[in-house]
Structure 1
Amino acid sequence: MTYALPPLNALRAFEAAARHLSFKLAAHELHVTPGAVGQQVKALEARLGVQLFERLHKQLILTEAGQAYLPGISEGFRHIADATSQLKPAGTVLLQVGVHGSYDLRRLDLAAFRSTHAEIGVRMLQPAGLHELVEGKVDVLIARGVSRHPGYRCERIDEGSGAGDWLVAPEGTADCPEIVSFRAWLRALPAAKPLADRRPRLVGGVRS
């Protein structure tokens, strides 16, 4: 059976822009420019012969046609993602994690994570920041004090006040199984000890 489908990139641009109601946020998620998203959406509208968005001053609104089109497109992408996930044999999913420079990687206990999540391979990049995440060099980022960034989901992974450590992932992939598993692992880790508690103590003239 032959399927009459619009270009996949145009559908991705529409789906992301419709979720965010913003070409800018869609561009952050897809690692392209807002202009590229706008061009893809415009080409899709021309191909379909309908207007999908109302472009108002600093505001993007789905038309009636856009509202009707979005659920099916989103569901289609979910089916593709699920089918791809089921096709991959164990151990073939690679999660690339960026970490800010002051984070102690020993806290992650990656050996234990790999033993309980054999289906997920983990590759670390340190130091890494938002630039590496936006450029697609890492899939997810452990960042210091990044509580908000357009087009990304930022979730605190430690306790207490102050800047803190945050897990930052693109909105479009934040609920992927490997990221969900890694997020749960981070939240289950013991809290980092204060620096004062890590200093060796003198007991009877001997360091302990």
Structure 2
Amino acid sequence: MTYALPPLNALRAFEAAARHLSFKLAAHELHVTPAAIGQQVKALEARLGVRLFERLHKQLILTPAGQAYLPGISDGFRRIADATSQLKPAGAVLLQLGLHGGVDLRRLELAGFRSAHAEIGLRVLQPAGLHELIEGKVDLLIERSLGHHPGYRCDRIDEGSGLGDWLIGPEGTADCPEVVSLRDWLRTRAVKTTQANHRRPRLVGTVQS
């Protein structure tokens, strides 16, 4: 059977914009520009032959057609996600972790995590960034950022404020047991590294006359 489907990117743009009732917030979630969201939605409306949104001054409203279309599209994405989550080898939960290029793998001690959590099949992709997270190539991402990504949970895993290393993943999977286990492990490693740095003796230089 051949399915008559609109382009997937256009459907994602519509679904995100409909949930947020905002092209701007949808753009933040999908990491594109508001103009790109608007173009995708416009192309989808042309493809379907119906208007999905009323674009008022500083306000976005679903038309009756958009309201009728949204539940089925959202449910379709959930079904795809559920079906994908079932594709796991027996006895292991696969978890794909992306790392930005500057992460020192030795500091994360991931071999220790694998030993302590044999039920989790952890795979690492480095380098990886937000693009890989959005495209579903990784489930979680350690990214050097300020930790503000609407639609994603961002947990800082190093000490300090401002720019730092954050564990970023979709809000919908943030409390899955395997994600919680990895998050706790990374935080413990960060504390361990900080304590080791504080215990390290400082070298005091000598001045010769």
Identity %: 59
Asked if structure 1 preserves the Cα contact closer than 8 Å seen for 2:52 and 2:63, the reply is yes
The 5 Å alignment of 1:48-197 reads: 48-89=48-89, 93=94, 95-99=96-100, 101=102, 105-115=105-115, 116=117, 120-125=121-126, 133-136=129-132, 139=138, 140-143=140-143, 146-150=146-150, 152-157=152-157, 162-163=161-162, 165-169=165-169, 173-176=170-173, 181-188=178-185, 189-190=187-188, 191-192=191-192, 193-194=194-195, 195-197=197-199
Q: Given the two structures, how large is their TM-score scaled by the length of structure 2? A: 0.66
Q: CA deviation at 1:15?
A: 1.0
- Asked if the contact 1:10–1:43 (Cα under 8 Å) also holds between the matched residues in 2, the reply is yes
Q: CA RMSD in A?
A: 3.7
**2:132 counterpart SS class:** coil
Instruction: Return 174-183 or 149-158, whichever deviates more.
Output: 174-183
Unaligned runs of 5+ in 1: 127-131, 201-208
Q: How many equivalent residue pairs?
A: 190
Note the C-alpha offset of 1:12: 1.6
What secondary structure does 1:166 align onto?
strand
1:22 corresponding residue in structure 2 = 22
Q: Give the secondary structure class of the aligned counterpart of 1:120.
A: strand
178-187 vs 61-70, which moves further: 178-187
| Partner SS state of residue 40, structure 1 | helix
Q: TM-score, normalised by structure 1?
A: 0.67
* CA distance in 2 between partners of 1:180 and 1:100 (Å): 27
Contact 1:93 1:178 in 2 (8 A): no
User: Counterpart of 1:203?
Assistant: none
CA distance in 1, matches of 2:199, 2:76: 52
Structure 2: tracts of 5 or more residues without a match = 203-209
